[in-house]
Amino acid sequence: MMWNTKRLEIRSYKESDFDFLYSMLSDHKMMAYIGNGKTKTESEALEFLHWIHTHEESDPDLGLKVLVEKESERIGHAGLVPQQVDGKEEVEIGYWIINEFQGRGYAREAAAFLLRYAREYRDEERYISLIQPDNTASVKIACSIGMQRSKRLLMNEGEVDVYMITIK
């Protein structure tokens, strides 16, 4: 699977991307607003990569994809990620950008592309983003693509705000 935006190539994870994935999952700053806020070990990173591949095997549109800046290198990942929220299956528009590429609009570009793609090719009536309350950068991105905060939940031992957009 490969998609393109103006500045990004969005593609499936390959085994050769493991070191890149592990570098994100073992970075304290990167993980501060992800899940329980803790970094992952190498074996946990392998499990995470398996989790990514499992989603894509069930539906090629789903799962996190590697973000590659066309002029440079891998800069993060984003995707349409199945999530359980209040016992219901939802699809999250998720995005992570490594520290040195944050603040350049790449996450917004990827999120906006995923929403446009979902509107055209997917059947879900709404999409969400799960964002920890202190993650103001991600809140700005979600709001910039039309999402609004709908509620706060306790997930993964911490609070997350559910941002949502209805498209049908």
User: What pLDDT, on a 0 to 100 scale, did the predictor assign at position 108?
Assistant: 98
| Stated pTM of the model | 0.90
Mean pLDDT of the residues in the chain? 95
| pLDDT beyond 80 at 81 | yes
For residues 117 and 60, what is the distance between their CA atoms, to the nearest angstrom?
13
**CATH for the 2-166 domain, from 3.40.50.1820, 2.40.110.10, 3.40.630.30, 3.40.50.300:** 3.40.630.30
- Dump pLDDT digits (tens) for 97-132: 999 999 999 999 999 999 999 999 999 999 999 999
Q: How many CB atoms within 10 Å of residue 78?
A: 23
Q: 1 by DSSP, 3-state: which?
A: coil
Q: Is the pLDDT of residue 71 over 90?
A: no
The yes-or-no verdict on residue 156 having pLDDT over 80 is no
Kindly list the domain boundaries of the chain, sorted by start residue.
Answer: 2-166
The predicted model gives 22-34 an average pLDDT of 95
- Closest by CA to 59, choosing from 89, 19, 24, 25, is 89
Q: Which residues pair with 84 in a beta bridge?
A: 89
